[in-house]
């Protein structure tokens, strides 16, 4: 399990049974995929997994914690390359993120997390914590570029990471994950080089 999922879960008690935890996570994935965010509940997961609600809450203290771990299980193969060119690194990252959201249940799960965060302050806090970790991870691409003199010293890596993530989130939430690669590359180029006319 990733450290982010572990932090989001904030386990408060007994060691998890791997078999039971797997059954609950599989049930949570199935409920979310079949019923969507509106039909996702701890009660529905418990029924499908044939587990008690106290067991689920002992290992995942909130619905958001469970959703985050389900998301982590689905989100794989995001590429953080080191090609020596920051535009290429960010393009490869964005392309792999779009593909994950488009081709696996991860996109629908993350939309559910965002929806949950709009109505639950605890969910919003959990999502913010998760996003901060992702921001720092993506920011390492910019930090490497700064170290090799490709990016100005006063650039804040977290701001650039937010710009890339914001572009991705808008496409996720508006159903445009099939963005043409040439357009995606152009967007990354605008983020890297800006839009002002160079004189």
Residues of the chain with CATH 1.10.357.10: 77-193
> Are the C-beta atoms of 122 and 130 separated by less than 8 Å?
no
Q: Over the stretch 18-63, which tens digit does the pLDDT of each residue have? A: 889 999 999 999 998 898 888 889 999 999 999 999 999 999 988 8
For 73-77, 82-86, 107-111, 182-186, which range has the lowest pLDDT when averaged over its residues? 73-77
Fold of the domain built from segment(s) 3-73: Arc Repressor Mutant, subunit A (1.10.10)
**Which two three-digit tokens encode residue 12?**
């408060």
Instruction: Quick: pLDDT tens for 77-97.
Output: 799 999 999 999 999 999 999
Give the CATH architecture of domain 77-193: Orthogonal Bundle (1.10)
Q: CATH 1.10.10.60 in the chain: give the residue spans.
A: 3-73
Question: How far apart are alpha carbons 139 and 156 in whole angstroms?
Answer: 8
């Amino acid at each position: 399990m990733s450290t982010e999922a572990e932090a989001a879960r904030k386990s408060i008690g007994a060691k998890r049974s791997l078999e039971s935890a797997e059954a609950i996570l599989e049930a949570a994935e199935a409920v979310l995929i079949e019923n969507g965010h509106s039909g996702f509940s701890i009660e529905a997961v418990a029924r499908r997994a044939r587990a008690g609600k106290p067991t689920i809450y002992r290992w995942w203290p909130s619905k958001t914690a469970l959703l985050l771990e389900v998301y982590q299980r689905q989100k794989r193969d995001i590429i953080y390359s080191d090609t020596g060119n920051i535009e290429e690194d960010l393009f490869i990252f964005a392309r792999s993120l779009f593909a994950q959201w488009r081709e696996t249940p991860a996109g629908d799960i993350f939309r559910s997390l965002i929806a949950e965060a709009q109505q639950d302050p605890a969910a919003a806090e959990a999502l913010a914590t998760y996003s901060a970790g992702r921001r720092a991870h993506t920011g390492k691409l910019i930090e490497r570029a700064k170290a090799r003199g490709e990016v100005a010293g006063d650039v804040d890596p977290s701001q650039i990471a937010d710009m890339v993530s914001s572009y991705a989130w808008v496409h996720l939430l508006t159903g445009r994950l099939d963005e043409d690669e040439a357009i995606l590359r152009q967007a990354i180029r605008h983020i890297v080089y800006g839009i002002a006319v160079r004189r």
